[in-house]
Structure 1
């Protein structure tokens, strides 16, 4: 019987493991099929984590120290994929990919979410080298430079507005002639002088060289091809929440979710199922920042410690 099973090895999961083990739990296992670290390991540079200001460090370098610290205090890592979690009586059953079942008193799920790709040519090639899915993370690299934003929802327009306070010009490309974002958001964007809306248009290809992105090739509804020279491209076409472990054998979620498949939690990271916690990018209203995910993980672990003490 595990004290706590942690599913997902990104910043939220690792921090949960650190706080759980340092907080006195003796049998805590982190399940992550690959090496822990999460999406941040794909970043070429970390600049907005408090107290960490070494520009030569990559996301992989950044997370290496987290693993060493967490495992030092007794967190165990099982390189196995979890199929599902179920509440069985007072405890939980964690089913692994090989059919093995493990019992746990409490579970913290930190499996995150994955930004959707738009599918244009060069998107994967230049991801992390001018193509980004996080304005807060990477916007500063384009200070006083023009950038392109792809998308038409609330996130795309809110991020475009954020970028407009950093960049010289922001070109918003949307495939339709109307936006899905809230009317107030659309109005605010339209009133910002350095935001330029390009509608009924798609991105055909991102252009660049060994130094990174240099521009994008656009195609309007009439088939006309134009080129927009910007060194940065921000893609906001949605996220896929990695929530499959919270589905039972019938495909029904075991806890409350919102319409986008995000886990509904309170400020303590508690789900609607007692003893089950969710942290990081898979929860509702997640800002998708490493510092927030780490805080979520710490909060969830402290709550698990209290929960287990109450069960004794």
Structure 2
């Protein structure tokens, strides 16, 4: 038997709906609400996004070190201080109704004059045993975030594209040895990046190889089971940390029918965070860009929070 869930339409017309309450979304909500705009953040989980899964943040200005959940809490307090609301919901689509937008969740429909998309992205996983178990205990997806924790340690980097090889090069400033594990017999990275890796004495390679399992003791990673895809040979490679970079997936499935995403699912914007739909902005990791950090997300959010105010003021002038 199929049950139909009636979607309840919220009566309030907001100035801004922020989809996602990570660092970009919360900063956008802060700036917009400080401009006396009515704001609601729609978040499918706890406010903070990936910060809630980060034990220690050491590269955020103003803090030598702060716990990820603590930083998330501070940002949330700031975002709601000037009246921004927070609502739970899994967004299914955005409808462009001309002068206003409708954001449809599982059981509610919200209305606003503008929308800021801040849904972020997620690291593509290997999907092998031990990956989830040792996340944060030797398994990482961000060299910039966690590299400094592995000084004078042996590390594995999984992948062969630009990001994986760049991560491996970056990690050599901390690690005693970095081994790139790649399923092919040549890298996919740009040649100039490959040349830097080949010239680095700390980097070695395991070609034609894939990770079958990540292993460790009760506390931390101790290595990985590696299989050669050509010979079928399996061996255990010791390591103190494993950095996985086989890609990122933007969380934009709900918006792809609107035509604002590129072929890979990322959302292109201009410098003011505007998408191809007037009144719809995008910020943070969901954007088509290179560096994805808390600091860059906060920067995007501040720009968008101000730009929605400018957009709404311009719309008033048009209607006069």
Paired with 1:75 and 1:101, the residues of 2 have a C-alpha distance of 18
Q: Which of 166, 178, 182 lines up with 1:174 in the alignment? A: 182
1:295 — aligned with what? 299
Structure 2 counterpart SS, 1:281: helix
CA contact under 8 A between 1:144 and 1:167: conserved in structure 2?
yes
TM-score, normalised with respect to structure 2: 0.91
Aligned match of 1:226: 235
Aligned to 1:16: 28
Is 1:71 aligned to 2:80, yes or no?
yes
CA–CA separation in structure 2 for the residues paired with 1:79 and 1:101? 12
How far, CA to CA, are the matches of 1:141 and 1:233 in structure 2? 12
Q: Tell me how far apart the structure 2 counterparts of residues 117 and 198 of structure 1 sit (CA, whole Å).
A: 19
Counterpart selection for 2:48 from 31, 37, 40: 37
- 1:153 to 2:161 alignment: yes
- The 1:155/1:226 distance shift into structure 2, 3 A limit, reads same
Provide the C-alpha distance between the structure 2 equivalents of 1:23 and 1:144, rounded to a whole number of angstroms.
49
The equivalent of 1:126 in structure 2 is 134
Q: Which runs of 5+ in 2 are unaligned?
A: 1-12
Deviation string for 1:227-262 (max 9, x for gaps)?
Answer: 222211000011111002313xxxx3332x333211
Aligned residue in 2 for 1:50: 61
Contact 2:94–2:258 (8 Å) recurs in 1: no
Aligned length: 303
State how far apart, in whole Å, the 2-side matches of 1:166 and 1:201 are: 24
Q: Residue 52 of structure 1 aligns to a residue in which SS?
A: coil
Q: Which deviates more, 61-70 or 102-111?
A: 61-70
**Aligned runs of 1:55-204 on 2, under 5 Å?**
57-98=66-107, 100-204=108-212
CA contact 1:5–1:30 (8 Å) conserved in 2: yes
Quote the offset at 1:51 in angstroms.
Answer: 0.9
Aligned residue in 1 for 2:308: 304
Once residues 218 and 22 of structure 2 are traced to their aligned partners in structure 1, the CA distance between those partners, rounded to angstroms, is: 29
Secondary structure class of the residue paired with 2:80: helix
Deviation digits for residues 244-291 of structure 1 (CA, Å, limit 9, x no counterpart): 2313xxxx3332x33321101111111111111000111011412111
Distance in 2 between residues matched to 1:244 and 1:260, nearest whole Å: 11
Contact 1:16 1:301 in 2 (8 A): yes
Displacement after TM superposition at 1:125 (Å)? 0.1
Aligned equivalents of 2:74, 2:118: Cα separation in 1:
19
SS of corresponding position for 2:281: strand
| TM-score normalised by L of structure 1 | 0.93
